[in-house]
Structure 1
Amino acid sequence: MKLKTAKRWFNWHKWTSLICTVFLLYLCITGLPLIFHEEIEHLLQGNKEAVVQNHAKMSLDKLAQIAESKYPGEKARYVFWDENEKNKVLFDIVDRPDAPYEKSKYLVLNEYTGEILGAPRTDGIMNVILKLHTDMFLGIPGKLFLGIMGILFMISIISGIVLYGPIMKKYDFGMVRKNRSSRLRWLDTHNLLGIAITAWMLVVGFTGVINTLSDVIVGLWQQGQLAEMTAPYKNQKPISGKLSSLDDAKKSAENAIKDMKVAVIAFPGTDFTSKHHYAVFMRGNTELTSKLLKPVLIDAATGTVTDSRDMPWYVNALFISEPLHFGNYGGMVLKIIWVIFDVFTILVLITGLYLWIARRKAEKQQLQLLIPKNSKA
């Protein structure tokens, strides 16, 4: 590599790393507990187990009535099924379908008995850490800012790879010069750790950038595919009177998409459907397809299916990226691997910061040594 080119890559690596290092340390530290967020939330929430009795599940409409009765004057707007919480259903209760999500009241019910098993907290420590990690409590601007930091992180990784190759032609791979100065030992350690976990850092960095675009991606889907699916109802008056059966909507979706199961039902008037439809989101049965959703629109007046389409590629990219970012694919083993790599990344960031400070300090000392000599001359 030519000297001029190498210097250009070095400057890219140095400045992109310096700009994003503090924020990446912040993200790595807040990301550590989020790798185990499901296990931690299960311990903290303290919800009861759903006892299965020798009879069929209760009507979904009846379960919705039980949930709504706890908050008079308010209605369900979303119904959730967690694949890891068997025999349970979660209701989101609000005073109006377009209410801010901060106004949601959540209730977990036993699908067989209707017993209320708990009310998940939205102000717990894990939710605070999640907000810190995703948007720093700054909303969309916070997400986009962290997305820019993620892009700088990826540039620093790529430039580091470009620089590492020519350097290691002169030395053995993984070399750490233990008999040289402290700064050289830290430099070799920084390079070794960085190149060893490069693939992981690229995956987590790339998926992190995609996750910061979640609001943009959802907005594109709402204005694109969802608008197309609901276009025939655009000029119709909102449904007056009672909505069709929630159970019928669920059964219609299951009959339309037989190789998938229901994950979420959105009521008419919410952000993920129209004022005329239930939106039933189906998930697959495999480890990968269980992270993907397929919408089925149900006419809320008649209970019939009006449209169903596969999500666009950019929405599926978001669905895949979020669990992959936190290692939520291969069970506990993958999560432990994610923790190890996260800790190594913290070490790479700290050693990189140390090397910059040490280099600045050395340059300052050299300048101080030169000044007296020049003054005597």
Structure 2
Amino acid sequence: MQWPSKKQWLAWHTFIGVLSGMMLFIICWSGTFATVSHELDWLTNPAWRSDASNVSHQQLVDAYRQVQTTMPQAKIMQLESASSAGYAISVIVKPPQAAPEYVLVDPQTMHINGSYSALTIARFFRDFHMALFNPLGIGKYLVCIFALLLLTSIVTGLMFYKRWWQKFWSLPSGNSARARWSSWHRWLGLWSLWFSLLIGVTGTWYLYEQTRFSLFDGLFSYTDSAAGAERPLPQLSAQKATITPDQLAQAIAITEQALPELTIHQISLDRGGYLFIAGQTSSLLVRHRANKVYIDPSTMQLAYRQTAADLSPYWRWSNMADPLHFGDFGGLYSKLIWVVFGLALSVMAFSGTWMYVKRLAAKASPSSIKSLRFAVYLSWLSLVAALVIAALHIIALAQGPDGWHWLPMPLGSALFLLAWSVTTLVGCIWGGYGLIKRVNNDFSLI
């Protein structure tokens, strides 16, 4: 079997770029904003802000008591405290005959800053980036397939770029616009190589996890109270009584004894009947639920404790994927690094499509025209479909059982999401239309 030539590697890289470029752009573009989405909520909604430097375990109990006293008819589902200072405690509640919402409590004053829709900026970007709001239940597959295309694009690009490891310090140059774009594309690609590989590998891992869960053994966790755990906990009957603040304080005391180094960031009041408490220890690069405690609320006895150190290599890696993919392991500083390289990857995905079409316009053969047109049309239509799905998702959330209603979103957050959505939609439609027009004009005489 003959090894592919440099020209063949370039042709494959080009076709993959044209086919996946625009969808890869919107995935990377939304993922870049998802990385700092909590910070965007903090900036656009004053209710998320607090002067408290950190949140103590006792303050979580006090916030629970405050919400339970203020909203006695609502079911408290979960408490969350941010990993960074300056944030309010978020309490997820389910009022009677209403959708779940966030109640934000200042940990310093125990004042309830406000109650808002569960559709925060963070939730919007995470759901859109992860699964395009999951149309037909296949959204995560659609997104993760592009991680495979990203890895394929990296391999084919390196195979035709001769001695690429020597070109890091070669500044972009060129005598024509196409040559300059090509030079910038290669330069950004080299400096973003580590990031592209990281995103491609973790994205491909998500595809494997989703495939395993949906089509094979249904496993998603090492230990859990729900079905789908490698080591499931004994099932408990549904909780009949509301957890009192004193019981929650007792549960936290049990947790502190079982895991003295745990900083609590998440408390679920009814996870399969258990009280579930999770957070961070000295273990590096893991999501909160790698370190967790389950407590039987009927007996107030510890049912299970776990740290990341207890996990097998497989499940340790599974809990590392999110911090690596979103770069939130080092606070705001690591997130900003991920934002910079996320923007670079977005620029490469979008500009690469234009550059490849211009290159093919100069050297196209009749046999390549049909495949190029197919790739461009498919890429553009899939992008528009993804954006339309996002719009329909927002509209569906605004249509309650009694007709249309305004989502209880803060004005700043609503305006930001509207501006981002309109700008992205208009930019993608304009760019896609221009690309299709160029394809038809450049190849009309061939």
Q: Once the 2 structures are TM-superposed, how far is the Cα of residue 10 of structure 1 from its aligned partner?
A: 3.3
Q: Which residue of 2 aligns with 1:49?
A: 50
What is the rounded CA distance, in whole Å, between the counterparts of 2:124 and 2:239 in structure 1? 38
Q: Once the 2 structures are TM-superposed, how far is the Cα of residue 348 of structure 1 from its aligned partner?
A: 2.5
Q: Which residue of 2 aligns with 1:371?
A: none
Change (3 A) 1:287 1:70: same
Superposed, 1:1-377 pairs within 5 Å as: 4-47=4-47, 49=50, 57=58, 60=61, 63-85=63-85, 88-94=88-94, 103-111=99-107, 113-125=109-121, 127-138=123-134, 140-165=137-162, 174=170, 178-179=174-175, 182-210=177-205, 220-221=219-220, 226=225, 227=229, 231=233, 233-234=234-235, 237-238=237-238, 240-241=240-241, 243=243, 245-268=247-270, 273-275=271-273, 277-285=274-282, 288=285, 293-310=290-307, 312=311, 313-364=313-364
Change (3 A) 1:335 1:70: same
Q: Secondary structure at the match of 1:76?
A: strand
Tell me the matched-pair count: 351
Q: Once the 2 structures are TM-superposed, how far is the Cα of residue 286 of structure 1 from its aligned partner?
A: 6.8
Q: Which has the larger radius of gyration?
A: 1
User: Quick one: which amino acid aligns to residue 308 of structure 1?
Assistant: R
How does the TM-score come out when normalised to structure 1?
A: 0.75
Q: Give the RMSD, CA atoms, in angstroms.
A: 4.0
Q: Once the 2 structures are TM-superposed, how far is the Cα of residue 196 of structure 1 from its aligned partner?
A: 2.7
What is the rounded CA distance, in whole Å, between the counterparts of 1:40 and 1:241 in structure 2? 37
Change (3 A) 1:49 1:83: same
What is the rounded CA distance, in whole Å, between the counterparts of 2:82 and 2:177 in structure 1? 51
What is the rounded CA distance, in whole Å, between the counterparts of 1:263 and 1:4 in structure 2? 52
The answer on whether the counterparts of 1:284 and 1:292 sit within 8 Å (CA) in structure 2 is no
What is the rounded CA distance, in whole Å, between the counterparts of 2:327 and 2:240 in structure 1? 45
What is the rounded CA distance, in whole Å, between the counterparts of 1:260 and 1:172 in structure 2? 43
The answer on whether the counterparts of 1:161 and 1:195 sit within 8 Å (CA) in structure 2 is no
Q: Once the 2 structures are TM-superposed, how far is the Cα of residue 261 of structure 1 from its aligned partner?
A: 2.0
What is the rounded CA distance, in whole Å, between the counterparts of 1:241 and 1:344 in structure 2? 52
Change (3 A) 1:109 1:285: farther
Q: Once the 2 structures are TM-superposed, how far is the Cα of residue 289 of structure 1 from its aligned partner?
A: 5.5
Structure 2 gaps of 5+ residues are 368-446
How does the TM-score come out when normalised to structure 2?
A: 0.65
**What percent of counterpart residues are identical?**
19
The answer on whether the counterparts of 2:91 and 2:102 sit within 8 Å (CA) in structure 1 is yes
The answer on whether the counterparts of 1:134 and 1:212 sit within 8 Å (CA) in structure 2 is no
Q: Which residue of 2 aligns with 1:373?
A: none
Structure 1 gaps of 5+ residues are 368-377
Q: Secondary structure at the match of 1:301?
A: coil
Change (3 A) 1:281 1:152: same
User: Quick one: which amino acid aligns to residue 300 of structure 1?
Assistant: P
What is the rounded CA distance, in whole Å, between the counterparts of 2:60 and 2:87 in structure 1? 13
The answer on whether the counterparts of 2:79 and 2:268 sit within 8 Å (CA) in structure 1 is yes
What is the rounded CA distance, in whole Å, between the counterparts of 2:11 and 2:364 in structure 1? 19
The answer on whether the counterparts of 2:76 and 2:269 sit within 8 Å (CA) in structure 1 is yes
Q: Once the 2 structures are TM-superposed, how far is the Cα of residue 291 of structure 1 from its aligned partner?
A: 5.2
What is the rounded CA distance, in whole Å, between the counterparts of 2:276 and 2:46 in structure 1? 30
Q: Once the 2 structures are TM-superposed, how far is the Cα of residue 256 of structure 1 from its aligned partner?
A: 0.5
